[in-house]
Amino acid sequence: MSKITPQSVFKQTSALHLTISIFTTLIVGICYTLRMQVNGGVEPRTMLNIFELLVPVMAIASFAAAYYVGKNRYKKLNSSANLIDKMNVYRGNNLLIWSSLTGSAFFAGISFYITGQNNLLLYGLMTGVMLLYFRPLKSRAKEELNLNEKESDLLDQTV
């Protein structure tokens, strides 16, 4: 059985982020491709303009809630906790943010498929870019977890 190290938790987090990013890209791309194959192109349905309001509002609300919950988890984290526990909290908070962004991208892609409005596709692509921006970085983990020098050096060691 392999020993769990902070580096392995970080690598697992990075692999999970890559998987979620690829999956999100595929779903939005599939929605675009399917919509383009319907009737030979995009014909917006003006009766469904409500999606142009719902998609960004839901994206902002879910991201803000995920970010707030994550910050509260960091505040509740005991500074004397071991590094593996801290890294698990970091992974959990990132999963929360990534799931909110992925859900928003899916909602935008499906809304584009239903309505044919290009703005909705752009919203989905923008949330995909945000998903890439919030990739796991060791420097971000050190900052968010307030790691001391010893813990930072331990995280920087290679597996």
In this structure, what DSSP letter does residue 87 have? H
* Type of residue numbered 93: N
Mean pLDDT of 53-74: 92
Distances (CA, A) of 91 to 17, 66, 130, 140, 155: 10, 13, 17, 12, 14
**SS3 label, residue 146:** coil
In this structure, what DSSP letter does residue 48 have? G
In this structure, what DSSP letter does residue 4 have? P
How far the first Cα of the chain sits from its last, in Å, is 15
pLDDT of amino acid 41: 54
CB atoms within 10 A of CB 79: 9
144 assigned to some structural domain: yes
- Over 60: is that where the pLDDT of 153 sits? yes
Percent of the chain with pLDDT over 70: 91
- Over 70: is that where the pLDDT of 131 sits? yes
* 140: containing domain: 6-154
- Over 60: is that where the pLDDT of 42 sits? no
pLDDT of amino acid 99: 94
CA–CA separation, 89 vs 70, rounded Å?
A: 9
- Over 70: is that where the pLDDT of 124 sits? yes
pLDDT of amino acid 159: 53
149 vs 116: which has the higher pLDDT: 149
Q: State how many domains the chain has.
A: 1
Separation of CA 92 from chain center: 11
pLDDT of amino acid 72: 92
* Type of residue numbered 123: Y
pLDDT of amino acid 157: 82
CA–CA separation, 105 vs 121, rounded Å?
A: 9
141 assigned to some structural domain: yes
pLDDT of amino acid 130: 93
**SS3 label, residue 141:** helix
1 assigned to some structural domain: no
82 assigned to some structural domain: yes
* Type of residue numbered 56: P
159 assigned to some structural domain: no
Residue closest to 96 by CA, chosen among 4, 17, 5: 17
